[in-house]
Amino acid sequence: MYHADVSRLRGGFVGVDIFFVISGYLITSILFAEHATGTFSLVGFYERRARRILPALFVVVIACVPCAWLWLLPADRESFWRSLVAVSAFASNILFYKSTGYFEAAAEWKPLLHTWSLAVEEQYYLIFPLLLWVAWRLGRPWVVGMLVSATVASLAVAQWTSIHDPAATFYLLPSRGWELLVGALVAAYMASRGRWLGARLSIGVRQVAAMVGLLSIGYAVVAFDKKTPHAGLYALAPTLGAALIILFATAETWAGKLLGTEALVRMGLISYSAYLWHWPLFVFARHKSVPRVPSGTLMAALVGASLLMGYLSWRYIERPFRDRRKVLRRGIFTLAALGTASLLAMGVVGHLVNIKGHPGKTSVASARPTIEFLWLKTGGCMYQPGDDLPVGAKGVECWVGDKTSSRTAIMLGDSYAGAYDALWDIVGKKSDLRINSVTTNWCMPTRNEAWMGRGDDHLKQCLFDRRFFADNVSKYDVAILGGNWMAYSTSSAFDGVLDLIDFAAKRTKVVVVMAAPKQFDVSPVEAYDKSLLEKKPFDINAVSTGLDAEEARANRLLEEASKKYENVLYVDRDSLFSIEGVPSDVTRDNVPFSLEGNHISGYGSKAAAASFLESQKYKDLLTMLQSSSR
């Protein structure tokens, strides 16, 4: 329901945390039981994993191939082929981690994204039984010590990376392993003591403990959202909640009775297959619905379809392959080898076809201009610290416009401000203005330490940018501010933006506040490319813009705030995005100004410069500059 966007439960993503705990508990319980009876076998363990995971996975992934071939645009199709190869090696979590660049395709457009959790799980189970086997040979204290120390170490890694590298926290085993280990600790405890908690503690204590577990999970589902750091200490709520339920939700408790209802038990049986089917169904629906977003009715229907496909997969794929009488060990390992080789081969062949030219690829590439975001390494100035770009002064050294002019400006803001670099480069050359572009991802233009972004390096660079602006703005003739205003307007942080306008207005000659561009529900470029591929006229008005209501409201708030100052110029959308003075969401060549539905592209920024140079706002800017120089 969370992935279908038909639920208001913003923290539905914690389901994967609960899944990891349950998986760790169930698998470790089986291992301890086999160890106790002397029947533990590594070959037997990996055979069970193959029977459990591979048959349904292979069917779903192979079913995605013709859909990707027919419906995905070239860039999305190339991403799919890479993910197909990664799935074959249970390394898709690593691939998706490495492809989480700021302007990579959003997660909801990748059909195999959900396989990242399977990759984490299988990487864990490739290592865990071996370590457990070694610990058993050394003695019980070693088993406990290994589980506890590994859990603490992994949680520490998760908390550290949630600050410094959030994508790694989400996707990679070192920061996710502790959730599986929490389940393993519960299993180890119960194996050593028996389920004494359910036998000796009063029913009242068990009722309370089990309800605390349910409430912890419920709190995470309701209170968490995409901005919640994950999976560090915040993930303790759903994971410890799941552990409490496993320990205390006996059949006599309310929680136990609820979770033991026939409907939920049956749901549990088909949950793996339903999980495999649901995400590709949703993603392909989004691709097919471009330029609109899928309707709530359609997505709700796909939830039902996921459950139906999940049942069919469980009934006719999972159950037969788990039956050792029907499929022998040799058969399941042969299937594993052939299936893996098939996915690898399809991924490689698909990639090669894409390179040489899949039908439609060449026509799209040649029929439109290059549409990309311009940052420091691609011709713009926006600074993304990391790798060879250190935090600090290097992030404030980029200039655009007339490089020989003595009249200077400083632009502060996030990537939305950085998207205007190409515009100000053109405008600066026309107006005898040299602009120092000081922009960093998620860096709201303010003087305080408010932060709504991700990554410790980006935060440090942002604070450096803000200090640099505050310390030096009086040395410039013009201050330019830009940002994703709706991200800040609904919080107290917006007061910091208004404070910065006031601060700059009192210290420099002219302050320019740039409107945030129109926000689209889907990528206009995706819709544009789709029209080229299908050889149909492109109509930007067909692209839904429900998200823009809040951005437009935030723009109006800034426009009103700017009117309080004689030397503050608010540059509205119509002065930037128009054709011969008529507001437009496309350029003269019918190409979207927008990049992915949020930012404008480098191409759009250059086109917006032409519109701005013809506008009254540009004339107002020149008048303000001339008046201030007298």
pLDDT of res. 367: 64
CA dist., res. 129 & res. 435, Å (int):
59
Q: For residue 172, give the nearest of 231, 226, 223 by alpha carbon.
A: 231
The mean pLDDT value for 82-89 works out to: 95
Q: Residue 455 — pLDDT band, cuts 50, 70, 90?
A: confident
DSSP 293: P
Residue 226 has pLDDT above 90, yes or no: no
CA dist., res. 125 & res. 46, Å (int):
9
Burial class (CB in 10 A: 0-12, 13-18, 19+), 378: exposed
Return the HEC string of 117-136.
Answer: HHHHHHHHHHHHHHHHHHHH
Give the Cα-Cα-Cα angle 259, 265, 267 (nearest 5 degrees). Answer: 110
- Tens of pLDDT, residue by residue over 125-145, are 999 999 999 998 898 889 989
Question: Is residue 287 within 8 Å of residue 76, measured between CB atoms?
Answer: yes
Residue 630 has pLDDT above 60, yes or no: no
Question: Is residue 344 within 8 Å of residue 86, measured between CB atoms?
Answer: no
- Tens of pLDDT, residue by residue over 370-421, are 888 899 888 899 998 987 889 999 999 999 999 999 999 999 999 999 999 9
Q: Chain-centre distance of CA 461, in angstroms?
A: 22
Burial class (CB in 10 A: 0-12, 13-18, 19+), 355: exposed
Sign of CA dihedral 135, 136, 139, 145: positive
CB burial readout 132-171, b (16+ within 10 A) else e: beebbeeeeeebeebbeebbeebbebbbebbeebbbbbbb
Helix and strand numbers, DSSP H then E, in the chain: 26, 8
- Tens of pLDDT, residue by residue over 543-583, are 989 889 999 999 999 999 999 999 999 999 999 999 988 99
Amino acid (one-letter) located at 52: R
- Tens of pLDDT, residue by residue over 257-289, are 888 888 888 998 999 999 999 999 999 999 998
Residue % of the chain over a pLDDT of 70: 93
For residue 438, the SS3 value is strand
Question: Is residue 246 within 8 Å of residue 186, measured between CB atoms?
Answer: yes
Between 292 and 48, residue with greater pLDDT: 48
pLDDT of res. 388: 84
Question: What CATH code is assigned to 393-628?
Answer: 3.40.50.1110
Residue % of the chain over a pLDDT of 90: 67
- Tens of pLDDT, residue by residue over 48-78, are 999 999 999 999 999 999 999 999 988 889 9
Q: Boundaries of CATH 3.40.50.1110 in the chain?
A: 393-628
Interhelix angle 74-88/42-71, rounded to 10 degrees, is: 170
pTM of the predicted model as reported, rounded to 2 decimal places: 0.84
Between 4 and 43, residue with greater pLDDT: 43
CB atoms within 10 A of CB 43: 9
Give the Cα-Cα-Cα angle 140, 142, 143 (nearest 5 degrees). Answer: 65
Q: Please give the backbone phi and psi of residue 82, each rounded to the nearest 5 degrees, phi first.
A: -65, -40
pLDDT of res. 195: 53
Question: Is residue 445 within 8 Å of residue 503, measured between CB atoms?
Answer: no
pLDDT of res. 232: 86
Order of strands, sheet of 568-571, starting from the edge strand that comes earlier in the sequence: 399-401, 434-439, 408-413, 478-482, 510-514, 568-571
Give the Cα-Cα-Cα angle 49, 52, 58 (nearest 5 degrees). Answer: 105
Question: Is residue 255 within 8 Å of residue 198, measured between CB atoms?
Answer: no
